[in-house]
Amino acid sequence: MNKLLPYFIIFLFPIFSSCQNNLDLKEKEYKINKSNEDWREILTPLEYHVLRNAGTEKPYTGLYDKHFKKGVYSCKGCGEVLYKSENKYNSNCGWPSFDDAIANKIEYGVDYKIGYPRIELKCKSCGSHLGHMFNDGPKHTTGKRHCINSIALNFKPI
């Protein structure tokens, strides 16, 4: 057994370190990296709560819930353009809903905050929390609903 011990350690070390990386998402390096203090300086308290602490704005209160103008939606944290108005639809769920995002702009994760797994959507550039993805979107397109907090987005008309 003693002879095998070093092999166990060598084998297990990468498993432990990869688990740690998955659990400790706040330490992950993004293209845009800021300290919590820096985020607090550029975001309002509610924006910080949603974007950096994965909070949720109250339903039917957001600026873009019933907003259907032509344009693009960018991340409130870093300005990266994430969604197009052509993917926005009226889901009546109380938050802006999109059937898809612009390719390679979103990071997909899983959270268990309310007791069951949900797919969390984050900005791939800065790691800011945007919302969640559900499988009850329009069946004639993707079947997905990206349920996004208005406060996590900025709209720019085109």
Q: Taking CB under 5 A as the rule, does residue 149 contact Zn ion?
A: no
Contact characters 78-117, Zn ion, x per CB under 5 A:
x-x-------------------------------------
Element (H, E) at 46: helix 45-53
Q: Taking CB under 5 A as the rule, does residue 128 contact Zn ion?
A: yes
Q: Which parts of the chain are beta strand (E)?
A: 71-75, 81-84, 88-89, 97-98, 106-111, 118-123, 129-134, 145-148, 153-157
Q: How far from the centroid of its chain's Cα atoms is residue 115's Cα? A: 18
**Residue 134: which of 104, 95, 102 has the closest Cα?**
95
Secondary structure letter of residue 10 according to DSSP: H
User: Residue 43 or 75: which CB sits closer to Zn ion?
Assistant: 75
Min. distance of Cβ 53 from Zn ion in angstroms?
A: 15
Question: Cα separation of 17 and 14, whole Å?
Answer: 5
Known catalytic membership, residue 93: no
Min. distance of Cβ 19 from Zn ion in angstroms?
A: 26
Stretch that binds Zn ion, among 67-75, 111-119, 129-137, 142-150 (CB under 5 A): 67-75
Element (H, E) at 94: none
Contact 54, 113 (CB under 8 A): yes
User: Residue 62 or 77: which CB sits closer to Zn ion?
Assistant: 77
Contact characters 27-46, Zn ion, x per CB under 5 A:
--------------------
Where on the chain is the footprint of Zn ion (CB under 5 A)? 75, 77-78, 80, 123, 125-126, 128
Residue numbers annotated as active site: 147
